[in-house]
Amino acid sequence: MFRRSFTVAATAIAAAVALAPTAQADPPHRRPDPAVLQRDLQDMVATEGAVAARVTDGQRTWSGRAGAADPATGEPVARGARFRVGSTTKALVATVMLQLQAERRVDLGARVDRYLPGLLPGRHDLTVRRLLNHTSRLKSHDHFLHPNPTIEETMNVHRWHTYTPRELVAVAVNAGYLDKDEYFYSNTNYVIAGMIIEKVTGRSYAREAERRILRPLGLRDTYFPGTSPYIRGPHTQMFAKVPGYPPFNVTEWNQSYAGASGELISTSADLVRFNTALLGGRLLPPAQMRQMTTLVATDEDKRYGLGLEVTTASRCGVELWGHNGSVPGGIAFMAGTRDNRTQVALTLTPGDGRPSKPQQVALFKFIDDAFCGTAKR
């Protein structure tokens, strides 16, 4: 399946960005060299693709971009170019949910049935908290949405289709529940979280996130596209490739298949501003921040809280708090140190669907250089 095979590969790459084995070669918080960061970006897209990044180190803010926004014209990446950031959306949705908990409008220990009765047959034990930390035993609907479609069906039919949240949940339920109450990353969890937000507030998760997060923080280049397949404003062209076919332009895609699990459009600058505010305690009271940062073990080299994942920088071992994301044709990286001293965000359209080995090497190096300082030569 085109949709499934791409997503699995791109998500694995995005999640692996900062997950190399920890080593202690350079001390954390050594100031990064802007010239080295820019070379890393240029190496990342030396043969194809486009990238934009933002780094703050407590004293300075650096922004860089490289590559062609449109390979057909060679147009460079615009300042403030927008990208689809996929599962990074989950950090905002979890923040809204925890704000509602602080207002005593949502109980994370309550069963999902309390808010959405009958949605999950046979799962009357499932709590809201277990949606947010991916221990719900729900499979991910996008793995089963269209079993074995042709490339033509995906590109010409499915990517334009509008899905309702209930349709997506029904797909996951029909696939059957997992056997154990262990961590399993499922986009369906956050589709349901979005439904709970709407049930409690009378407004969509997107409207609540706009009201509570985007407008107060001045995130003017971040928005939820809903059912629109288009990206407003300056943006890069995105491509995906399946063996045996030429690259497909997947820039236009109705994100309702992801909804609250991954529809957001943003910029590297806005992602840094959001994560800085979140880790700095501006969006959640201390009690809710403690819950968000209470971690469970995963089946990957990371730990997961409530809409936050924790990885490490490979060179210096510093913990990175944030959330990665992927969509057809692109990946996003958003992370900061727990003391909020360093924040990094990067959005990459690889040019061929998934990062090549040289692109991955340059990506890993960029993250190390940003968080650990320039490597000694």
Q: How far is CA 366 from the centre of its chain?
A: 18
Q: State how far Cα 197 lies from the chain centre.
A: 19
Compute the C-alpha angle 335/103/288, nearest 5°.
35
Q: Report residue 370 CA to chain centroid gap.
A: 19
How many Å apart are CA 128 and CA 246, to the nearest integer? 43
Hey, is 118 helix, strand or coil? coil
360 Cβ contact partners less than 8 Å away, ≥ 6 residues apart: 13, 16
CB 295 within 8 A of CB 310: yes
Instruction: Single out the catalytic residue among 87, 140, 204, 266.
Output: 87
- Residue 87 known to be catalytic: yes
Of 141, 110, 85, 32, which is closest to residue 263 (Cα–Cα)? 85
* Residue type for position 316: C
Q: Which residues on neighbouring strands pair with residue 59, listed in sequence order?
A: none
**Any idea which residues carry the catalytic annotation?**
87
